[in-house]
Amino acid sequence: MTAAETKAETKAESKAEAAEVLISVRGVVKTYERGGETLRVLDGLDLDVKKGAFEALMGPSGSGKSTLLNLIAGLDRPTAGTITVGGKRIDELGESALAKWRGDTIGFVFQSFNLLPVLTALENVTLPLLLTRVAAKEREARATTALRIVGLEDRLHHYPRQLSGGQEQRVAIARAIVNDPALIVADEPTGDLDRKSAEDVLSLLERLNKQLGKTIVMVTHDPAAAERASIVRRLDKGQLQ
């Protein structure tokens, strides 16, 4: 193999590697003004998340892990630095373009489930599809499939108050995957659940990652939850350790 061939192969390899990166965070700074003081929550942070990864972000309270998750999910904007997800610079997007991007790209799983209490499980799961051009019948079919994936096909018409915490979180996961998003972000998904329900939810996330190839970034305090992830990253004082 000549030197030129070796160089070309290395270039091709690094290109392929680069193509696998779904999330690229470069020099991200995030500051907040609190009581006249400037808090630097993230301090020039760099991060790459590969497509199909299941990553856990851990760290003490105030370390900036939820802030980082919100930035990756396009819920918040960095004070400085760039965030690219799926090849798109989301820190440059306007308000409505960012909302549309979130609808197309991100599936959210929250600690407190955040289901709309006046809508049934099926209606909650259908919500993200209202932002697409999918016809009503097809929306219902897809939402039903998502609920079947999370094992709740017999709870379609139940309201959140009629479900257990674990079931609520599974509905939330169904809502997160119904749009077939490129990325699922989960903020303390097991924080409000008992051990058994937490295990079920983590197994579900694991299955979504392994069987459906979903990229998952999860913030957690729970080491048992972090163990399920393929990569665990630790944040402290706004920096990855």
Q: Are 121 and 169 in contact (CB under 8 A)?
A: no
- Residue 118 near other proteins by CB under 8 A: yes
- Residue 103 near other proteins by CB under 8 A: yes
- Residue 182 near other proteins by CB under 8 A: no
Chain-centre distance of CA 240, in angstroms? 18
Residue 49, judged by CB atoms within 10 A of its CB (0-12, 13-18, 19+), counts as buried
Shortest CB 9 distance to other proteins, Å: 42
Candidates 12, 116, 141, 224; binder of other proteins (CB under 8 A) is: 116
- Residue 80 near other proteins by CB under 8 A: no
- Residue 131 near other proteins by CB under 8 A: yes
- Residue 130 near other proteins by CB under 8 A: yes
Q: CB within 8 A of 86, min separation 6: which ones?
A: 22, 105, 182, 183
Closest CA to 235 of 55, 22, 87: 55
Q: Are 190 and 222 in contact (CB under 8 A)?
A: yes
Q: Tell me whether residue 76 or residue 199 sits nearer to other proteins (CB atom).
A: 76
Count the alpha carbons within 13 Å of 18 in the hemisphere toward its beta carbon. Answer: 8
Q: Per-residue string for binding with other proteins, 136-175, x by CB under 8 A?
A: ---------------------------------------x
Shortest CB 34 distance to other proteins, Å: 13
Closest CA to 17 of 25, 26, 9: 9
Candidates 21, 29, 93, 119; binder of other proteins (CB under 8 A) is: 119
Within positions 188 to 217, which residues make up the interface with other proteins, using CB under 8 A? none
- Residue 102 near other proteins by CB under 8 A: yes
Indicate the helix (H) or strand (E) that contains 108: strand 106-109
- Residue 75 near other proteins by CB under 8 A: yes
Q: Are 137 and 90 in contact (CB under 8 A)?
A: no
Q: Are 166 and 194 in contact (CB under 8 A)?
A: yes
- Residue 94 near other proteins by CB under 8 A: no
Binding residues for other proteins, rule: CB under 8 A, are: 70, 73, 75-76, 95-96, 99-104, 106, 108, 110, 112, 114, 116-119, 123, 127-128, 130-132, 175
